[in-house]
Structure 1
Amino acid sequence: MKSFKSWLNPKPWRTIPSDDSDSCLDGIKTFQLNKEGVEHIRIMLYGPTGAGKSSFINTVETIIRGRMTCQALPDAVSGTSFTTKYQTHTIKKDSSTIYPFVFVDLMGLEKDRKKGVCPEDVDLALKGHLRDGYEFNPQSPITTSDPCYNGSPTLSDKTHILVCVIPANTANILTDEHIEKVREIRCAARDLGIPQMAILTQIDEACPEVHSDLKNVYLSNIIKKRTEQLNVSVGIPLNFIFPVKNYHSEVCLNEDINALTLMALEHMINLGEDFVDKN
């Protein structure tokens, strides 16, 4: 039987920030977007069904609000997408304001070309043409006559940062069919100049040592390999791929979960702000 120790590097394969998660959280909570006509950074999440897109949104809100939340409805049964509508998720700052970053959780990608979200709909969402409430149709994209079609999107309506969400607990990361769809979406975002990154979810299920102690994430050979696989298969640079663990079975906040999530969120906000500044 393989020793757990053989799954760990003697040194971290990525430098871990010395700042504590409280400092990072304070920075995110006090972030202000100073761009006329733009109310928030729009973060779009996409990826295979069951990857943890909705759960990541809930994890971020849980950390920021300091209690368990479930705004984006997740599903414990994978196979088909539980998300069926285009919906913008905001996080309340107080009774009258929200934080200046929002999430869009797309219908999941599926192997079959005629199942899951249409890549054409993703392209239109990137450009800001979808309104909240649009019901995704795997067979065909939205038409200009649909009430949820936004014919005159503003910069606030457009996507500012595109995030690929991939589960780490499968050996091949992505099927060939998924890779084709991801590449198509990445090329559409590239043509619009939208920055891109990825989060690797379910890392605790991928490596026993990470399951035992989340602090082992950057010592884990398995998580390093999964990160490299994602880099090679879809072309996202290694320094733009962040391993995270969503809140799943926990009922209390966990500092290690928070630290990984906040590191990824901070980069999303920074890259989104860069895009807004350029436009």
Structure 2
Amino acid sequence: MVQSLCIAASGMQAQQTHLDVISNNLANVSTTGFKRATTVFEDLMYQNLRQAGGNNTEQTQLPTGLQLGLGVRTVATSRSYTQGSLQQSDKSFDIAINGNGFFQVELPDGTTGYTRDGTFEINAQGQLVTANGNRVLGGVTVPADARSITVGKDGVVTALIGLNNPQPQQIGTIETASFINPAGLEPRGQNVYTETQASGNPVAGTPGADGLGYLMQGHLETSNVNVVQELVCMIQTQRAYEMNSKAVTTSDQMLQKLTQL
């Protein structure tokens, strides 16, 4: 009886964690380049009270066993890297990756971060930076007298410099990177991920080549969160939480009956 209380409590805790993940997905439904997460559960150890296949007599074996489970726990959050919709914008420094890959940015501690958020700006030095001021790797520096900035599908950035120069000049290149296991990346907030041993080493390359997606100037990738799907998951989580809480109540009532005997 006491075990049922612990088992139901583990179920309530697991569903609460699931709801936290769903809430975060819904909170970021409008976040550029956000990737939805799902919760991964596993059952806990079992009490093996009767071993399946054990000898019942010298001539017979038990066809089934008696194992009592001890509940559930959350083991991981798996992130889906399916591409979100590409939305057109009016800014020349809004860039989306159509396909596989991440933009590479320099974090404040000097390490490299990876993002799908292509909401870029120009800082006081003419460098291409993220909305948080992190420099985009690739050596893009926009001169003060540059006009008509063009970002090619292969990441080559050109501009018309000066008033009387009709010939575009290259002012930098944007490289993207891919991972063998992007699900192993660690989210750091601010739309940035960092590599881990699970993700593998980044493989940098030219957009549009070697399996990397090409760049689209004047576009942004929206979140891949499906609101309807998240709401359905929320209702399922609520029902599962209610059933586990009902199991706690039922176990408590049975214990009360037992103490009255």
**CA radius of gyration, larger in:** 2
In which range does the TM-score fall when normalised by the shorter chain?
Answer: under 0.3
TM-score, normalised via structure 2 length: 0.23
More helix by percentage: 1
TM-score, normalised via structure 1 length: 0.22
More strand by percentage: 2
